[in-house]
Amino acid sequence: MATMASTPKASAPTETWIALLGRRDTPVDGVEDYCTYLGKALAQREVLMKSARVSWMDSGWVSALFRLRHDSAEWRGKWVLLQYTALGWSRRGFPIGVLLTLAILRRRGARCAVVFHEPSGLSGPRWIDRIRGACQNWVVRQLHRRSDQSIMTAPLDSVDWLPKQDRKVVYVPIGANIPCDLPWSDPGSGPNGRRMIVAVFCVDPPPYREQELDEIAHAIQPAVQNGTSLRILFLGKGTLEARDEIESKFCETGVEVSILGILDGEQIRRSLMESDALLSVRGTVYPRRGSAIAGVACGIPVVGYTDGGDIYPLSEAGLRLAPVGNQTALAEALTAVLQNSGLRDELRGRSRRAYEVFFSWEVIAKKLHQALAEPRKLE
C-alpha cells in the first residue's frame, strides 16, 4: 500500500509535490535519501514535497495499486515525481508494475514527472540478463512517452535512446545524500606532520569484492613504500560484511585500517572531510556515481577509473582518473595526490567549486523547479 510522510514544511508553501517511490531498499535507500534532501531544498522555494510509497513488496501489487488509486484521488493537478529504478518496481528487474502505476496517476489527473535514476536497462552475459535489459529499455521508453516531463539524472548525450532535442526532458544532476551545510574543513597541509587518510565509500558484495580489495591494496602500495604514513577508512554499504577480507588484505602492509560500516549522513560528511582523498574502484567514475559526488560535496580529491567518456559536469571537480583497469596508473594518481600538497589543494578547490555550481541541493532544486514550472519551454 502507499504510505505517506512529509519533509519539513516551508513557512508558506505555495504548491505541493508528491515524490512517489517503489519498494524500500535495505539497509539504506539512496532514492529515499535523495527525496529527503531534495524536499528540504525545495521547501526554501515554497514547495512542500511529500513522499509516498507504493508498497507492492509488502502487500502485493493488487492491494498496493488499489491503495494508490485511493490516495491519488487528492493529487489531481499536482506534480507527482515518480522515482524510477528497475528494482524499485520489480523483484527481478522486470518493472512492468511501474507502467500500471503511471497509468493510475494519469487517470487521477496528476501531472506526472518521471525521475530516471536508471535511464537505461542493465544487461549481462546470460540470455536472461539480455531479456531483462531489453525489458527495462522498453519500460523507460514507455515511461518517457507517457509522462508529462522526464528528469534524467545522467547527461542527455549519454542516454542513447532519447530523441535529439527532445523538449520534454531535462538533465538534473543528483546530489550527495549527506548534510552539506557544514563549513569546509582541511585535514592538514602534508604527509610529514600526520597520517594521511584515504576513504573508500562502499564495497561491492562477492564475487567483485576480492578484486576491489586487490586494486585498493595495489593503489596504496607506492605511497606506503615512499614513506607515507597512511590510514584507510572503509565506510558505507558492504564494509562491515567485508571486515575479515579487509583485515586479512591489509594486515601486513603497515597501513592503519578503520572499518566504520553504515553511518548517518552527518558522520559520513565529517569522515570524508577529514580525508585527503576518496578512492573509487567500483567501476568507472561517472555523473551518477553517488560515492564520487559525496567526495565532491565534501571538497576532497576523487581518485578512480575512467572509460574515456564525457562525464561533464563531474569532470569539473577535483578528479584524478586512470584508464579503467590500469592499476599502475591508478596507483600513480593516488600517490601524486597524497604526496603533493599543492596538487591536493588545487583538487580540493575544484571539488568545492563544482559542488557549488552543479551539485548543491539548492542548485538541483532550482533547476528542477524551473523544469516543472515551464516544462515545455526549456532549451
pLDDT tens sequence across 36-48: 999 999 999 999 9
pLDDT for residue 183: 64
Same fold, 2-175+360-373 and 196-357: yes
Percent of the chain scoring above 90 in pLDDT: 82
pLDDT for residue 184: 66
Which residues are CB-neighbours of 108 under 8 A, at least 6 positions away? 69, 72, 73, 75, 76
pLDDT for residue 333: 97
pLDDT for residue 377: 44
Rounded to an integer, what distance in angstroms lies between the CA atom of residue 165 and that of residue 180?
34
pLDDT for residue 189: 47
3-state helix, strand, coil in the chain (%, to 5): 40, 20, 40
pLDDT for residue 252: 82
Percent of the chain scoring above 70 in pLDDT: 92
Q: Which residues pair with 16 in a beta bridge?
A: 48
Beta-sheet strand order (sheet of 47-54) = 2-6, 47-54, 15-21, 79-84, 111-116, 149-152, 169-171
**Sequential pLDDT tens for the chain (379 residues):** 554 444 444 457 789 999 999 999 988 899 999 999 999 999 999 999 999 999 999 999 999 999 999 999 999 999 999 999 999 999 999 999 999 999 999 999 999 999 999 999 887 789 998 999 999 999 999 999 999 999 999 999 999 999 888 889 999 999 999 887 656 666 654 444 579 999 999 999 998 899 999 999 999 999 999 999 999 999 999 999 999 999 999 988 889 999 999 999 999 999 999 999 999 999 999 999 999 999 999 999 999 999 999 999 999 999 999 999 999 999 999 999 999 999 999 999 999 999 999 999 999 999 999 999 865 444 3
C-alpha grid cell for residue 358?
552543479
What's 196-357's CATH class?
alpha beta
What's 2-175+360-373's CATH class?
alpha beta
pLDDT for residue 122: 82
pLDDT for residue 254: 86
- Domain edges within the chain: 2-175+360-373, 196-357
Q: What is the pLDDT of residues 85-124, one digit of tens each?
A: 999 999 999 999 999 999 999 999 999 999 999 999 887 7
Question: In this structure, are residues 263 and 235 in contact, taking their beta carbons and an 8 Å threshold?
Answer: yes
Rounded to an integer, what distance in angstroms lies between the CA atom of residue 58 and that of residue 370?
36
**Whole-structure pTM value:** 0.89
